[in-house]
Every structure is written in structure tokens, then in C-alpha cells.
């Protein structure tokens, strides 16, 4: 389950079919005080395609973003085998975050791909 206020890509957006390398940043209000787990859900992949996803960070919305977390590469074989959810956990010192989606292959389509912070109650174990 996601924290809807901290989404980097929502299911209300179009299917992920092309690179999204300059998305708008999301304001997290401040740097993190504890680790956050980011969950990437990729519902489908057609043909022989790949997807590389990074979370980037910055002090200001319009500043220069730098890489923060990198997910393992998503491939058609992984999706076909049932691996549709990927997680990364980290403590980000910056206020703004955005995701980059770098797609590869011929006519890629990853469906309604989403990326956001996984909602975990404070003190509850994270089982990701």
C-alpha cells in the first residue's frame, strides 16, 4: 500500500511506453528522519523490453537532481516469471525527489507502472 501524498508515478498516468527522464519533483517536506521504502509496481511487459528506474533527489524543485536509489533492472523475463514488485529502502537527505524511467526495446509497454513510498506503520516491521 502506498502513501498517496508521496507518489513519484501514479496509476492515473498513461501506460509507461517511453522514457520519462525529466519528471517533476515531489515535495517530501524535508529530508528523511528514518528509512523509507519505495515500491515500484510494473504490471506488464511486452516483447523483449527493459526498464531502468532511479530515484533522484534535490534541495529545490527546479535544481539539479542527483541519483539517490537505483532499482534492479526490470525485464520481460522477470515480469513473465511473476516478479512485478521491486523495492528499495534509503534515507534521503533532500526535500525533493523524482523518478526517472529509462525504457529499452522495440515498442515497450509496461502498463500502469507506479512508484511511491510504501506505507508502513511506525514501529511495524517492514517485510519487503
Torsion of CA 2, 114, 4, 24, to 10 degrees: 140
Single pTM value for the model: 0.91
Instruction: List the one residue out of 1, 54, 62 whose CA is nearest residue 27.
Output: 62
Domain ranges of the chain: 2-118
Q: Give the model confidence (pLDDT) of 34-77 as tens digits.
A: 999 999 999 999 889 999 999 999 999 999 999 999 999 999 99
CATH architecture assignment, domain 2-118: Sandwich (2.60)
E strands, 32-95, are: 36-41, 50-58, 66-70, 74-75, 85-90
How buried is residue 99: exposed, middle or buried, by Cβ count under 10 Å (0-12/13-18/19+)?
buried
Amino acid at each position: 500500500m502506498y502513501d498517496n501524498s508521496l507518489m513519484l508515478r501514479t496509476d492515473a498516468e498513461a501506460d509507461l511506453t517511453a522514457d520519462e527522464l525529466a519528471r517533476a519533483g515531489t515535495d517530501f517536506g524535508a529530508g528523511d528522519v528514518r528509512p523509507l521504502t519505495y515500491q515500484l509496481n510494473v504490471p506488464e511487459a511486452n516483447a523483449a523490453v527493459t526498464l531502468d528506474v532511479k530515484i533522484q533527489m534535490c534541495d529545490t524543485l527546479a535544481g539539479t537532481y542527483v541519483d539517490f536509489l537505483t532499482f534492479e533492472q526490470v525485464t520481460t523475463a522477470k515480469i513473465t516469471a511473476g516478479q512485478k514488485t521491486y523495492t528499495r529502502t534509503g534515507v534521503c537527505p533532500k526535500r525533493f525527489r523524482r523518478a526517472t524511467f529509462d525504457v529499452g526495446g522495440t515498442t515497450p509497454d509496461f502498463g500502469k507502472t507506479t512508484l511511491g513510498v510504501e506505507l508502513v506503520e511506525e514501529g511495524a516491521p517492514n517485510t519487503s
